[in-house]
Amino acid sequence: MRRRGILIVVSGFSGAGKGTLVNKLLEDYDGYVLSVSATTRAPRPGEEDGREYFFLQKEQFEQKIAEDGLIEYACYCDNYYGTPREYVERQLAEGKDVILEIEIQGALKIKKQYGDALLLFVMPPSAGELRRRLEGRGTETEEVIQKRMRRAVKEAEGIENYDYIVVNDDLETCTRQLHEIIKAAHNTPARNREFIENIRTELEGEK
Amino acid sequence: MRRRGILIVVSGFSGAGKGTLVNKLLEDYDGYVLSVSATTRAPRPGEEDGREYFFLQKEQFEQKIAEDGLIEYACYCDNYYGTPREYVERQLAEGKDVILEIEIQGALKIKKQYGDALLLFVMPPSAGELRRRLEGRGTETEEVIQKRMRRAVKEAEGIENYDYIVVNDDLETCTRQLHEIIKAAHNTPARNREFIENIRTELEGEK
């Protein structure tokens, strides 16, 4: 019997280091895949269809919306972005834990459809550290940093909707912790119905 | 800031190896303590008050019941057995994860009072393996084994009330798994209210 994968939603403040964390998780451990989003924006140099994104025409994207082929989608800067259901479903069926990096509105939409999805929120060790990381990039103006900090305040309101938080202080430790949380999640009764039913049937036979 | 411990309830079929598992967890990892039960039965040779049990007189025990000093209690073979609240509370406040080995009725009573308790159910890899382990003890008559197997059928009905199952196939692996599940549980938002509130306050100041 092959166990079904878990749909894992990773959110967190901009600057908390979710991207690096997720990449390291994929690098260090087997059994994970990243969900590939669909978008109508044009590919940038070096981007490959099916790797960074599934690049679709506007009509194709709207067709997908119409057939309920997207778990969630949003329009941002005149372009559609969304999560193709078929790709996610296939990976879950193959036993892969599928990781989706997405902000809170998307996360809540996913939880509604996939009650069994695992919602993880990546936090910096402190707000000061978050600011230092944003400043440290050296690429952002003070205005952008302030905008990010204000967005973090908004995002922080939703933390209680998540199943777990992970504090990204040390990348190595945090990656291991993320992996352990996901491993633990495989052990809930709801995710082991078949095993439990089998034991029940067997016990009936053995008694 | 010292994090509060988690009250961990461990149940499972007789023969699934909970006792051995819990002992190994205490041996291999720091931060755990075993809850010490109170009882009115007489100490057996070698048993020490406060180690195996808190040995109480019947009047003392009933006094504790009257003052709500027990998290749960039951009467078994004319003797009382119960879990003293004060000991558990003190350990939790000190940041220890307190382990309570108890059957399902007790587990549900605890969950009602400690909504944050973590309920773990230890399972054998199969019903056949459970029977083999019970037979392997060599001390039980076929009648006793059958009684245990029938009880396992009853107990199995309650598995969905537990937060996690652990399958005790290999002791080493299962102990590590148990530890990882408990570690993961420390990362829920509900168990990190103070940290989350601090970050929120800080973010407000930083924006």
Task: Tell me the per-residue pLDDT of A183-201, one tens digit each, with 9 for 90 and over.
Answer: 999 999 999 999 999 999 9
- Mutation choice for A interface testing from B161, B174, B206 by most A CBs within 10 A: B206
Backbone torsions φ then ψ of A135, nearest 5 degrees: -65, -40
Q: Does B3 touch chain A (CB under 8 A)?
A: no
Pairing status of strand A79-84 against strand A7-12: unpaired
Band (B2; pLDDT cuts 50, 70, 90): low
Q: Are strands A37-39 and A79-84 parallel, antiparallel or unpaired?
A: antiparallel
Q: Is A119 on the interface with B (CB under 8 A)?
A: no
Contact A202 B123 (CB under 8 A): no
pLDDT tens, position by position, B74-95: 888 889 999 999 999 999 999 9
Whether B187 sits inside 8 A of A181 (CB atoms) is: yes
ipTM of this complex: 0.86
The model's confidence at residue B135, banded by pLDDT at 50, 70 and 90, is confident
CATH 3.30.63.10 boundaries in chain A: 36-94
CB B109 within 8 A of CB B99: no
pLDDT of residue B22: 95
Rounded to whole angstroms, the Cα distance separating A178 from A99 reads 12
B143 contacts on A by Cβ (under 8 Å): none
CATH 3.40.50.300 occupies which residues in chain A?
1-31+96-207
Q: Residue B14 — pLDDT band, cuts 50, 70, 90?
A: confident
Q: Inter-chain contact A165–B200, Cβ cutoff 8 Å?
A: no
Residue B66 has pLDDT above 70, yes or no: yes
Mean per-residue pLDDT of chain B: 91
pLDDT at residue A1 greater than cutoff 60: no
* Chain CA centroid to CA A93, Å: 17
- Chain B interface test: which of A121, A166, A179, A206 (most B C-beta within 10 Å): A206
Among A47-56, A107-116, A156-165, B130-139, the least confident range: B130-139
The rounded distance, in Å, linking the Cα atoms of B84 and B89 is 9
Residue B207: which pLDDT band, with cuts at 50, 70 and 90?
Answer: low
For residue A14, the model assigns a pLDDT of: 80
Q: By percentage, how much of chain B surpasses pLDDT 90?
A: 70
pLDDT at B69: 95
Contacts of B187 in chain A (CB under 8 A): 164-166, 177, 181
**Residue A207: its pLDDT value, please?**
66
**Residue A157 Rama label (left phi>0; alpha psi -120 to 50; beta):** alpha
Closest residue of chain A to B147, computed from CA coordinates? A207
Q: What is the pLDDT of residues A7-25, one digit of tens each?
A: 999 999 888 889 899 999 9
Q: What is the pLDDT of residue B101?
A: 92
* Residue bearing the bigger pLDDT, B182 or B104: B182
Rounded to an integer, the average pLDDT of B32-54 is 92
Distance CA A161, CA B12 (A): 31
- Tell how strand B7-12 and strand B32-34 pair up: unpaired
CATH topology of domain B36-94: Guanylate Kinase phosphate binding domain (3.30.63)
What pLDDT is stored for residue B27 in this prediction? 96
Asked if A30 is an interface residue toward chain B (Cβ–Cβ < 8 A), one would say no
**Secondary-structure class of domain B1-31+95-207 per CATH:** alpha beta
Q: What is the pTM of this model?
A: 0.88
* CB under 8 A, 24+ apart: contacts of A183-186: A183/B177, A183/B180, A183/B184, A184/B164, A184/B177, A184/B180, A184/B181, A184/B183, A184/B184, A184/B185, A185/A6, A185/A118, A185/B184, A186/A3, A186/A6
The average pLDDT across A110-123 equals 94
Whether B196 contacts chain A with CB within 8 A: yes
**Residues A140-157, mean pLDDT to the nearest whole number:** 86
Residue B139 has pLDDT above 90, yes or no: no
pLDDT of residue A147: 86
Looking at beta carbons, which residues of chain A come within 8 Å of B152? 203, 207
Residues of chain B with CATH 3.40.50.300: 1-31+95-207
A180: closest chain B residue by CA: B180
- Mean pLDDT, rounded, for A165-180: 95
Residue B155: band (very low, low, confident or very high) from pLDDT cuts 50, 70, 90 = confident
Average pLDDT of the residues of chain A: 91
Residue in A126, A185, A206 nearest the CB of B127 = A206
**Residue A95 pLDDT:** 95
Per residue, the 3-state secondary structure of chain B, as one string, reads CCCCCCEEEEEECCCCCHHHHHHHHHHHCCCEEECCEEECCCCCCCCCECCCEEECCHHHHHHHHHCCCEEEEEEECCEEEEEEHHHHHHHHHCCCEEEEECCHHHHHHHHHHCCCCEEEEEECCCHHHHHHHHHHCCCCCHHHHHHHHHHHHHHHCCHHHCCEEEECCCHHHHHHHHHHHHHHHCCCHHHHHHHHHHHHHHHHHHC
Query: What mean pLDDT comes out for the span B66-73?
Result: 94
Nearest 5 degrees, angle CA A100-CA A104-CA A105?
105
CA angle in degrees (0–180, nearest 5) for B132-B136-B139: 130
Class for domain A1-31+96-207, per CATH? alpha beta
Whole-angstrom distance, CA of residue B22 vs CA of residue B35? 11
Is the pLDDT at B1 greater than 60? The verdict is no
